Homo-oligomer: A and B are copies of this chain.
């Protein structure tokens, strides 16, 4: 336990103008994870245009290639710097794997021998959440600080082929896309139901919250979504509330 309590992690997150500052689902996952494990950490807020320099300065690895098709390395947050080991880790699945491996006596994000399946969940859930971005991105754009907003608007316009203001589906397209999103949550609802010997489990690992629940909880942002599947997602957010400290 000496190691655990001495641990101090620096968590790199992207700020917003919201009172709570933290806004990105992909960064909420890691914040939930850090709070869940109970590792002391501090947040360094990094605006979008500064992410690459911040990662390079610490030696954080790129997580993908640039969306411009150039094949050049692309640097993204989340990133953590563990002051007690010197490790710098990028990519959310790498980060949670690192946290469990380095601090195994703290609560497990992924119980032993389920990390591989949690990675599979990450891949499958990413595919199911595809329809959510045209709903998330325009809202995010409005709450970012000016330098991030400029970067975000420009790069997302290049990626999606239209300004963020025009991205959210309207009318019939809205009905279709929102239904697709609901079906995606519905699939995860079904996965939860097959657990817990007769469907009594509330979470993706049955009775116990694991990283997969934090993953999906990070994407529950609308009152409508909270009511889906007999209020499962409102209930999940409530159960995650104690890990929401920013």
Which residue numbers of A lie inside 8 Å of B, CB to CB? 97, 101, 104, 112-121, 123-125, 127-128, 187, 190-198, 201, 204-208, 212
Asked whether B195 lies within 8 Å of A115 as measured between CB atoms, the reply is yes
Asked whether A113 lies within 8 Å of B195 as measured between CB atoms, the reply is yes
State the main secondary structure of chain A at its contact with B: helix
Known: A124-B120, A125-B120, A127-B127. A114 touches B191 (CB 8 A): no
Asked whether B207 lies within 8 Å of A116 as measured between CB atoms, the reply is no
Q: Which listed residue, B120, B125, B128, B201, touches A113 by the CB 8 Å rule?
A: B201
Asked whether B117 lies within 8 Å of A114 as measured between CB atoms, the reply is yes
Instruction: Output the nearest chain B residue to A93 by Cβ-Cβ distance.
Output: B194
User: A212 contacts which chain B residues (CB < 8 A)?
Assistant: 116-117, 120
Identify the 7 closest CB pairs spanning chains A and B, nearest first. A113-B206, A116-B191, A117-B117, A120-B121, A123-B124, A124-B124, A120-B124
Asked whether A194 lies within 8 Å of B123 as measured between CB atoms, the reply is no
Q: Could you name 23 residue pairs across A and B whose Cβ atoms are closer than 8 Å?
A: A112-B197, A113-B205, A113-B207, A114-B195, A115-B194, A116-B191, A116-B194, A116-B204, A116-B205, A116-B212, A117-B212, A120-B121, A120-B123, A120-B125, A120-B204, A120-B212, A121-B124, A123-B124, A123-B128, A123-B187, A124-B124, A124-B127, A127-B127
